[in-house]
A and B are shown apart, each in its own frame.
Chain A
Amino acid sequence: MADDLPVRRSRSVAAVAVPLILALPVAIGLVGVLLPAFGYLPALGGDDFSLDPFRQLLATPGLMVSALLSLASGLVTTAIATLGVALLLAAYHGTTAVRVMRQALAPLLAVPHAAAAFGLAFLIAPSGLIFRLLAWPLGITRPPDLLIIGDPLGLSMMAALVAKEMPFLLLVAFAALPQADPDRRLRLAASLGYGRMAGFLLTVWPGVYRQIRLPVLAVAAYASGVVDVALILGPSTPAPLAVRLVAWMNDPDLSRRFVASAGALLQLAVTAAVLGTWFAGERIAAAIGRRITTGGRRFGRDGALRPVAAMPVILAGGAVFFGLVWLSVWSIAGFWAYPAILPPSLSLATWSRSLAGAGGPLANTFLVAILSASVALFLVIVLLEARRRQFRASAGRVVRLTPAVAALIYLPLLVPQIAFVFGLEVAILAAGLEPSIPLLAAVHLVFVAPYVALALADPWFAVDPRYEQVSASLGHGAVTTLFRIRLPILTHAVLTALAIGFATSVGQYLPTLLIGAGRLTTITTEAVALSSGGNRRVIGAYALLQTLLPFLAFILSGTLPRLLSGGRLAMKRG
C-alpha cells in the first residue's frame, strides 16, 4: 500500500496538530502570567525579574482564608457531588424512578452555572421561597436576619456548585454505566447474598468511576477556581481566591496586575493541591473498598438506607429546577412583599425593559457560541477521524484517544481558567488585538472543544466499521463515506455534541469578562454583573434568558435528527 503512505502521514499530523492547537492557548496563557508574576511585563514598566509581586501577594490581608476557601470549595463540592451520584445509583439503579430521574435531569444540563446560582439564591435567601413558606408556621413577619447569601464559610456557594455539578456527573455516569455491565454483576452479587447498595458499590461503581474520572476532576478544578457562582453566592470578607484575582486584574491601578499574576500562580497551586488531595482520596477509597470486599460482609439489609441515599440528587435537581421556576416568577412579579408566597400582581414590565437592553448581549452570546461550537465540532471530527483511521477494523481492538492526546485536549478543563485566561488576555493585548466576536469565539473554543470531544468520542468510535467497508467496497471514497454514511448515522450524536458545545460557550463567564474587556458583553456577563445590584426581577429575566439559548439548542438537537431521518426506525434510538 505504498500510495497510502502520504495519506496516513497527514492523518497522524492531524491527530497531533488538533490537540496542540487546543492546548496552545493554555501554554501561552500560563507564560502570560508566569512572566508578570516575576515582575516582567515591559508594557507596564516591569523590565526586571523580581519576587516583588509574590511579596505583595503574601502581604495581602486574608490571602490564606481566600486560598483555603478555594481549596475547600474544590474538595467539598466534588466529594459531595460524586458521593451523591454513587449513592443514588447504588440504591436505585435499574428502577423506574431512576429512568424518570434521567429524563428529568437531562434538561438541567442546559442551565448555566450563573443561572443555577441565582435560582438557589432566590430559594435560600432570608426573603426567599423557603423562608416565605416557613413564615406562617414560625410566626415571623419579616425576613430573618441571617447571613445566608455570602456566608463566610462559602457554604451556599458550595451548595450551588453541588446542585449544578451533581446532575452533570449523574448524566455522565448514566452514559458510562452500560460498559460496567451492571445488571449481570448486580445479579451475581445478589446471588452471593450482597445487599443491593453494597453489591453496586463493590462490583459496578469502580468500573463506572474509572470512566467518569475525567469529568469528576474537571468539576474539582472548576469548583476550586470558580468566579461567577462565587460572585453571586460566595463570601466577600474575604472572597475566594479567584474572585479577588479578577478584582486585581480589573483594578484601575495597573501595577496590581503583577500581584494578580502571582495570585494566578497561587490559584494554580491551589487547584493542583485539590487534585492531589483528590488522588489521595481515591486511593483511600479504593483501599477501604478492597477491605470491605475481602471482609465478606454482605450488608444485606439496606432498605431503610436507600431513600436517604437518594436525597442528595433529589435536593440538587430540585434546587436547580425550583430555582428556575422562582426566577421566572420573580421576572413577572409586580409588587411582592414578604411573606406572600406568590406575588399578588403580575406584570410584564420587567421583560419589556430587559429585552430592550438584552438584544446586543444576546446576539453576541449566540454568535460566539455558534461559532466556537461549530469550529470545535469540525476540529474534533478531524481529530477523531484521524485517530480512527490509524486503526483498521479487523483486530477488534477498542479505539480510544491516546492518553497523551486526551491529556492535551482535556487540559483546559483541569487548569483553572483564571490561571491562564488572564495571561492570554495579556498576550492578546501585547499582540495588539482588539476584542471581537471571532477572538472571543477562539478563546471560548479552548473550553468548548473538550466537552464536544467528550460527547462525541464514544459514539464516533462505536459505529460498526463494516458500514464503511461496505461503502468502500461499493466504490465510494473516504469523503463520500464520511458525509453519506458516518455523519448521517451519527446525526443525533453530532447535534448533541454541538448543543453541548453551544451551552458550554453560553455559560462562560470569566473568559468573556477578561477577553471581552467590557466592550463585548454576553448575556452571562450581564447577568452576573446584575448580582451586586439586587434587582430580583431583572436578575430573574436575565438568568432565564441565559438558560433559554442552550435550552433551545438542546431541543433542536433532539428534534432535528427525527426530521432529518425521515422517520427511520433504527435511527430513533439514542
Chain B
Amino acid sequence: MNRPMANPPGSAPTGPVDGLTFQGVEISLAGRRLLSLDRVVAPGETLTVMGPSGSGKSTLFAFVAGFLDPAFTARGRIALNGTDLTKLAPQRRHLGLVFQDALLFPHMSVGENLLFALPPGIRGGNARQAAAEAMLAEVGLAGLFSRDPATLSGGQAARVALARTLLAEPRALLLDEPFSRLDQALRAATRDLVFARIRERNIPAILVTHDPADAAAAGGDLVVIGEAEAGEGETVGAPTAATAP
C-alpha cells in the first residue's frame, strides 16, 4: 500500500525543512485514533492520501487547513517551510484549497471571484484586472472575466476555482477530491493542469482522493488510511518508516 519513494533531492533530513512536514500528527475522535502521519512533502511533490469514506481523509485535510471540528483532538506538528501551521489562524496559513465543488461565490462575477483572491499588494484597478485576466488565460479561459459563475460549465468552474486558488499565491495546495465531479475527458485535462501548476510553482501539495488514477497522475507518495474500518478501534496510519532516514 505504500509505494517506496526516494526522498527528493534537496530536502534536508534535519533542521528547518522546505515543504510540508508532518511530525507525529495524530487525530482521534472520542479517544479513538483515526490516523497518524509522519511525513515530509517536498516542494513540487504531491502526497496522495487515499481511504474509504469516513476514514478520516477529510479530517486530515481540515486539520491542515485549520478547520478541524473541536470534537476531534489532534496532536503533532505540521510545518510549512519551517513555520508551524497549527499555531496560525486559517487565513494566515497561505494554503490553497481546492474542493470537489468549485464553490465560486455566487454573488460575484468570475472576475470578482479572482480579484477577491488576489493579494492586496497588487494595486490599482487596471493592474489587478490584468493579473486576473492573465491567470484566466493561463487556465485556458481568457475572456470570461465578466461572466456569472452560474453560467459556467462544470469544467470551466473547476478551472476558475483553480485560478482563484493560485492567484492568492499559496505556499502549499490542499486538494479534496478535486476531480471527482468531472467527467472522464475533463478529469484528465484538469488533472494535468493542476499537477503542472504544482510542479511549475514548486510547492508541496496534499491530494485526498479515492480514485487510483488520481494517485497515479500525481506521481508522488501514497498513504492509505482507514484500512481498518470504524469499529476496529484503530486505524492503520502511514508507516513511520516513510519519514526521513
Contacts and interface: CB of A to CB of B under 8 A. Distances in A.
Given A466-B99, A470-B103, A489-B106, A391 B70 contact: yes
A392 B106 contact: no
Contacts of B105: 467, 485, 488-489
B217 interface: no
Nearest to B169: A475
Nearest to B107: A488
Nearest to A484: B116
Contacts of A391: 69-70
A569 interface: yes
A397 to B, nearest CB: 7
Contacts, number: 109
Interface stretch (B38-46, B143-151, B233-241): B143-151
30 contacts: A2-B87, A3-B89, A4-B89, A392-B68, A394-B58, A394-B67, A394-B68, A394-B69, A394-B72, A395-B71, A397-B69, A397-B71, A466-B103, A467-B103, A469-B90, A469-B97, A471-B116, A472-B66, A472-B89, A474-B91, A474-B168, A475-B92, A478-B91, A488-B107, A489-B105, A491-B107, A568-B107, A568-B150, A570-B148, A570-B149
Interface of A: 1-4, 390-395, 397, 464-467, 469-478, 484-485, 488-489, 491, 565-571
B86 interface: yes
Interface string B103-124: 1011111000000110100000
Contacts of A392: 62, 67-70
B55 interface: no
Interface of B: 58-59, 61-62, 65-72, 86-87, 89-97, 99, 101, 103, 105-109, 116-117, 119, 148-151, 164-165, 168, 170, 174
Contacts of A569: 148, 150-151
* Central interface residue in B93, B107, B170, by most chain A CB within 10 Å: B107
Given A568-B150, A569-B148, A476 B72 contact: no
Nearest to B176: A466
Contact of A395 (B69, B108, B149): B69
Nearest to B27: A394
Nearest to A565: B107
Contacts of A465: 67
Nearest to A561: B107
Contacts of A474: 91, 116-117, 164-165, 168
A570 B150 CA distance: 6
B89 A395 contact: no
B86 to A, nearest CB: 7
Contacts of A476: 91, 116
A473 B97 contact: yes
A394 B150 CA distance: 26
Contact of B106 (A4, A394, A570): A570
B107 A473 contact: no
Given A394-B62, A489-B105, A489-B106, A473 B68 contact: no
